[in-house]
Amino acid sequence: MADQHDVPRIALNSGYDIPQLGYGVFKVPPAETEKVVLEALELGYRHIDTAAIYGNEEGVGAAIAKSGIPRDEIFLTTKLWNDRQGGDEPRAALEESLTKLGVDYVDLYLIHWPAPANGTFVNAWKQLAALNEGEAIRSIGVSNFLVEHLEAIHGETGVLPAVNQIELHPAYQQRDVVAWCADHGVHIEAWGPLGQGKYDLFGVPAVHDAASAHDRTPAQVVLRWHIQKGNIVFPKSVKADRLRENFRIFDFALSDAEMSAIDAIDPGDGSGRVGAHPTELH
């Protein structure tokens, strides 16, 4: 069985580093969260991705406390919801999240969506940059930002996010956003790394063939593709056997030809997107 030491760590522009594989808890029911997060921590996951809007921060915090694992061995991310971006609301929202999580600091605090129609994401970024001067946040970042949103916050503040957490999987690779982030030293966190089960990635020949060749599952092949691309991932599952399966991706490697075949799944026309479009969600 793999353990936490098999997970590579990626250095962020904040000076901190992050385990490249974590566990995301979107749609994990609040009542189940403590149990599954505890299972994930016992399996060796040391990076948990939650958000205020998921409604399960208390369960995440309870699992961390119960695990007995020292706080500084766990990388914890939460996110600011769209209706808290204005004025000095981000400070109050962060404090609420810290209370629910039962921690003194989060490793990473993200603006969840740019929600451009609200006109508040630049303000939120200035607020996060100011909060980042204190002890309650180690790194700040954004989520679902397109190039225009990244340029707006960078242009206004000169402060770059440590990460941009975006929908990314073989069928939807957002190459323009990835290129901008690579040029500016911003790491990509890929949400929906398995296509959320909505896009049939596992049936695509490039994935299926690589899985057969390596005697792995299609999910392991897709996650391995992310790891070799340099993406940070935190696949969600409420099933212990899948949590274990998703962790076992560090003892095989895809060939250049297999990587290229999976790269080619995205036709580049946006048709593989399974989530909301960043300009449309408020």
Instruction: Give the residue carrying structure tokens 């596992």.
Output: 202
* Distances from the Cα of 66 to the Cα of 39, 69, 216, 265, 275, angstroms: 11, 8, 33, 42, 33
Position 195 contacts ligand NDP (CB under 6 A) = yes
Binding mask 162-191 for ligand NDP (x = CB under 6 A): ---x-------------------------x
Residue 49 main-chain phi, psi, to 5 deg: -115, 115
CA torsion, ordered 217, 222, 223, 227, to nearest 10 deg: 130
Smallest distance from the beta carbon of 134 to ligand NDP, in angstroms?
24
Is residue 259 classed as helix, strand or coil in its secondary structure? Answer: helix
Cβ closest to ligand NDP, residue 170 vs residue 261 = 170
**CA gyration radius, the chain:** 18
Is residue 9 classed as helix, strand or coil in its secondary structure? Answer: strand
Smallest distance from the beta carbon of 259 to ligand NDP, in angstroms?
19
Separation between Cα atoms, residue 76 and residue 257, nearest integer Å? 35
Residues 34-63 binding ligand NDP (CB under 6 A) are 49
Query: Which residues, other chains included, contact 155 with Cβ-Cβ below 8 Å and sequence gap of 6+?
Result: none
- Which of the residues 54, 109, 172, 199 is marked catalytic? 54
Candidates 134, 197, 268, 270; binder of ligand NDP (CB under 6 A) is: 197
Position 193 contacts ligand NDP (CB under 6 A) = yes
Cβ closest to ligand NDP, residue 29 vs residue 134 = 29
Provide the CB-side half-sphere exposure for 151 (13 A, CA): 6
Candidates 66, 71, 175, 239; binder of ligand NDP (CB under 6 A) is: 239
Smallest distance from the beta carbon of 120 to ligand NDP, in angstroms?
17
Q: Which amino acid is at 181?
A: C
Candidates 59, 141, 235, 272; binder of ligand NDP (CB under 6 A) is: 235
Active site residues per annotation: 54
Binding site for ligand NDP (CB under 6 A): 24-26, 49, 112, 143-144, 165, 191-197, 219, 234-239, 242, 245-246, 275
